[in-house]
Structures are given as C-alpha cells and as structure tokens.
A and B are shown apart, each in its own frame.
Chain A
Amino acid sequence: MNINKKSIISVLLNLSIAILVVSCGGNNEKSNTQSKLSGYVKVDGSSTVFPITEAVAEEFRKVHPKVRVTVGVSGTGGGFKKFVMGEIDINDASRPIKGKEIKKANENVIGFIELPIAFDGLSVVVNKYNNWTDYLTKEELHTIWKPGSTVKTWADVRPEWPEKEIKLYGPGTDSGTFDYFTEAINGKSQVCRSDFSKSEDDNVLVQGIAGDKYSLGFFGFAYYKENKDKLNIVPIDGGNGPVTPSEKTINNGTYQPLSRPIFIYVNPESIKKPEVKTFVEFYLENTKHLVSEVGYVALPDKVYELGLNRLNKGVTGSVFSGRNTVGVKIEDLFTK
C-alpha cells in the first residue's frame, strides 16, 4: 500500500517535471548568417495596424533572423500607455497621438517620432440587395449618425427610398475607426447616436449587414475588400460629387472625408539601438509593397521618403495631433 501511495505522488511529480523538460527543450532554428544584428524590437498598439506590422516583421525576420520583433495588440490607447512609460520601442496607432498622451510623454521625458505608414479608407456599406442607395452625401450621413438623430426609416434619409426601418451597424466606441468616423461625419470624435449594433469584431458587422436587406454600416476598407460579394459599397459625396472608395481614390485623396492615415510612433531613445533603427527603416522602405496584401492602401511614395528623413534627422513631435486631419493631404502637412 505504502509504495502505491508514494507512486501516485511521484507520478504527479514526474508529470510536472516531464512537462517542464519538454517545454524547456530548445529547437534547432535554421540559423542564418546573413545578419549579425540581434536584440529585441518591442511593438504594441492598434489591432488595425497589426496586420501591416506583422507583415513587415515577417519579412524583416528573413533578413535579420536574430532580431526578435514582438508585436502586441492592446489597442492604440493601450499601446500609448506603455509607450509613454518607455516600455515599448514602437506604438502602432490608428489615430494621431492625443494631447493628454503627449503631456504624459513629456512628464516621463519620452519623445516620439511620428511616421504615417498607410491609408485606411472607412467604407460605408449596405446589403447586397439594396438597389436604391446610389450614393450618400456627408450631410446625409450626418443626419443618420448624429446624436439624437430622428432617422428611423430609409425614407427619412431621402423621401423616395423605402419606408423600411434602417438597421445601423458600427464598430465599438473604443476603436480608432469609430473615433475617426464620428470626427469626420459629426465634427467631433465619439459624438454619435448610440442606438446602433456595435461590435469590436468587424467580421460580426459584415455578417450583420450581409444578412439584413435594410441595413447600413461602416468599417475598415479591408473588410469590404474581402467581402465584396456579400456587400454593396456606397459612394460618398464629400462636396465634389460621389466617389467610390478604391485603392486609387483613397491614395490620391479624392475619397473624402472618410480616408485616414495610420501611424507608427517611435521612441527616439530606441533608435539608438541599431536593431530598432534598421527595423523602422525597413518598415518605411517596404510598407508600400506590403500594405495592399493585408487590405490597406499605400501612401504616396513621397510620404515614405519624408518619413525616412524625419527618422534620420530624429525629428520628434506631432504634426497630426490636435489637428483636424479630415480632408488634409499628408504631403502638405509634412512639407510645411
């Protein structure tokens, strides 16, 4: 009996040791001698920017296999909280840094280099069987989405449209996408009617709109691009006639006011580490080829050159923060 009791406990012990040993076992990475660069590059921030940074990190690893790039997803705001404490090298941001965050950074003597890396076009979409919505003006969108909006049916938007209840879908209020849409359409970020279906997961919005003939919603262009067959996209009239979002109209700035730049913010102290500097340079040099693969739109070439310039000169501070960037061309901001 005694042996048996002991054996149970020793089985348990052995099990835990076995698990430990198995998990400690190293593996044989294919070592690549192309690059001697090593160390960590710590990135965190927006889930919108994540696919781009992941793509860059994946390509970077092929050239510099010993540099460990890690990317977290704690949201633009969550990432900035870590950034201003100096805990990460780079923050992925789907909106410019806010005044509050700059203040916090100054308190901790942490600077930042602001680098726009791509465009994200917000797309307004309706159901596939919606054959009446030819376009929407910025004013009509405002009427639908403003706080206390009285729009209940499609006929409330334009009298000739069906008198059916309009079902609204949008991203959760914590997302940078929601911030930007409300700023562009309602004039101030976070100001919006609250009686619409929200989800942090844009795929849920896609499902909702695809399943409801009288629905209307908005989300990132990438999600429309992947679900073209299930949805109809609505051209937006920002004042110069209706424009359908496409890579071309987002890139050349004619799709307004719903295309926004997305950024990475780099800690200038981190740039002193060669692995971080090389990574950021690699980022700016390769992003334009990688963004379309993950559903975003590249910036004009000149902006990447200007970004590299800022990086090499170590220009800190924000040209986007606190400014209404809706409808502003990026080159103009940077060359000023």
Chain B
Amino acid sequence: MNNFNLNSAKRKKNERIFKYLCQLFTWMSLLILLVLIYHVSIQGLHYLNLDFLNNYPSRFPDKAGIKSALWGSTWLISLVFILSVPIGVASAIYLEEYEKKGRLARLIEINIANLAGVPSIVYGILGLTIFVRFFALDRSLIAGALTMSLLVLPVIIIAAREALRAVPQSIRHGAYALGATQWQTIYHHVLPASLPGILTGVILAMSRAIGETAPLIMIGALTYVAFIPESVMDPFSTLPIQIFNWASRPQAAFEEVAAAGIIVLLLVLLTMNATAVLIRNYAQRKYRW
C-alpha cells in the first residue's frame, strides 16, 4: 500500500476507460433505436396518411388501412389498464403494508416473481381454457383484456411494491403520530409519494401489453376485421397482429405498409408513455423528502 498514489496515471486512465465504455453502450442502444426509426420511416412514411388510419385491411397495399387494428388495440389497452392497475396496486399495498411477513407472504412473493417469468404463450393457453371456453366469453375483447391483465399483473405488483418500499418509514410514523389510521396514511401519504415508481411499472406493463401477439392469437384475436368493436364482447384485431400479417406477405409493397403500421404503433406507444411520464414528473415535483 505504500506505493498508493492518489493521482497515478493508471487510476485516472481506468476511470476514463470505464466512463467511455458506459457512454459507448448508452449511445449504442440509442443508435439502434435511431436506425430502426430511420429505416421504418424511409419505408413507411409515404403510406402514412389519414386514409391509412381510416381504412380497413385490404388486399391492395394502397387501400390497406389500420383502422380496425388501431381501435382494437386502443380498446384492449384501455381495458387492460382499468383491470390490471387497480388490482395490481391493491395487491402491492396489501403485500407491502398490511400483510405480516411470514411464510405465506414469502410464498406469494415467490409465486408472483415466478409468474413474471412465465412465457406469454402459456397465458394464452390459460386464457383460452378459462376465459374463452369455461366462462364462455368467446373470442372477445374482454377475454383478450383479461388474459393480458394476467400477463402484466406481476410486472405492476413488483414495481408497485418496490415503489412502496422506497417510501421512508418516517413518513408513515409521522402520520401515525398525528393520529392517522393506516388507510389514511396510505391514501394521503404513502401512495402519492410512491406514485412515480408505480407509474414506471404501469408504463412497462402497458408497453408490454400493446406489443404482445402470441397470447392474443392463441385466444383467437383476428387478422381481418372490417368493423370497429362496439362492446367488450366484440371480436377484434390488434396492431402487432396486423403488422405481422403485412410483413409476411409476398408483395414488397406490403412491407412498406407494415412499416407504416410500425410507425403508428410507435406513436401510440410514445403518446401513452409520454402521458405517464408527464404525470410522473408532476408527482415527483410535488413530493420530496
């Protein structure tokens, strides 16, 4: 240790190498995204117009549109949001705030972590057996949304628990000291303070739900639909299914139509995430400790 030199060139060099390495990897992932967006825009932009958004699928690339898939995805994601967020957050609150830390709690915890790693197609088979056949919901939006909710619930629960755990105990203690009940403490202090973290989980979950195809095909989501769903019992198609179908067609023009579809999917995803990020930032500014 005698030859330890605070300002040795070697230490500084290592420091720099590490920094540049991290920088390189960050830029690399960003670059890949940029290349993807560039490529897709070059291919798809000229198909992207109001007609594209307002037309039903067609065998002619020029007439093909994404209307039914766009509406199908919007319906689906709204239903998944309504179904999964309350259940997921409530479960997380129960597990984190109320549940006594015992064997049962550990068992539930392990199960939820495992569920997050189950391949999506397994949820599709489950959805087909339970929702489509047993509950006779048929190949409807609600069957798809329930299946997707099961798929994303573990993600929401895990993220929400992490967020709740990050709220300092002193906040809870402070509330109790002033005579608040546990519910008041959670509702007025813990939940708002953990909102940013919970929202991050919700963003991840919704992004996953909007991009999944395999379980939906399993439960019977469709490829050609020429109407907009009017109730939760209606059959539907979604953006990724429509895009996949176009991309696998022999006609080269459909590849460009698929690219236009990808742009729409990206825009929907970005709008969704941007909204959540805005709310998150607002919440973050409000709560600091």
Contacts and interface: CB of A to CB of B under 8 A. Distances in A.
Interface of A: 2, 4-5, 8-9, 11-12, 15-16, 19-20, 22-23, 26-27, 29, 40, 42, 44, 47, 50-51, 53-55, 57-58, 61, 68-74, 82, 87, 200-203, 220, 222-223, 225-227, 290, 293-295
Interface string B233-267: 00100000000010111111001000000000000
A259 B183 CA distance: 71
B250 A201 contact: no
Interface stretch (B29-37, B166-174, B278-286): B278-286
Given A50-B223, A50-B245, A203-B247, A20 B192 contact: no
Interface residues of B, number: 43
B275 interface: yes
A8 B280 CA distance: 9
A294 B253 CA distance: 12
A220 B251 CA distance: 13
A274 to B, nearest CB: 19
Contact of B78 (A19, A58, A295): A19
Contact of B222 (A22, A51, A70, A223): A70
Interface in B49-82: 56-59, 71, 74-75, 77-78, 81-82
B95 interface: no
A69 B224 contact: yes
A8 B59 contact: no
18 contacts: A4-B286, A5-B188, A8-B283, A20-B78, A47-B248, A50-B245, A51-B59, A54-B57, A54-B59, A61-B56, A61-B226, A72-B220, A72-B221, A72-B222, A74-B217, A74-B220, A202-B250, A295-B250
A53 B222 CA distance: 13
Nearest 5 interchain pairs by C-beta? A71-B224, A226-B250, A55-B59, A223-B250, A19-B78
Interface string B181-198: 000000010011001000
Contacts of A293: 59
Nearest to B276: A15
A115 B167 CA distance: 66
Contact of A8 (B82, B223, B250, B279): B279
Given A26-B228, A68-B227, A226 B247 contact: no
Contacts of B255: 203
B15 interface: no
Contacts of B139: 72, 87
Given A2-B188, A11-B279, A226-B252, A54 B81 contact: no
A73 B249 contact: no
Interface string B75-98: 101100110010000000000000
A11 B247 CA distance: 38
Interface of B: 56-59, 71, 74-75, 77-78, 81-82, 85, 139, 188, 191-192, 195, 217-218, 220-228, 230, 235, 245, 247-252, 255, 275, 279, 282-283, 286
Contact of A23 (B75, B222, B226): B75
A15 B59 contact: no
A295 B249 CA distance: 10
Contacts of A70: 222, 224-225, 235
Given A20-B78, A74-B217, A226 B224 contact: no
A69 B237 CA distance: 13
Contact of A16 (B82, B195, B224, B225): B82
Contacts of A47: 245, 248
Contacts of B224: 50, 53-54, 57, 69-71
Contacts of B223: 50, 54, 71-73
Contacts of B230: 26
A23 B245 contact: no
Contacts of A29: 227
Interface centre among A26, A29, A58 (most CB of B within 10 A): A58
Nearest to A200: B248
A70 B81 CA distance: 26
A23 B59 contact: no
Contacts of B247: 201, 203
Contacts of B275: 15
Contacts of A12: 279
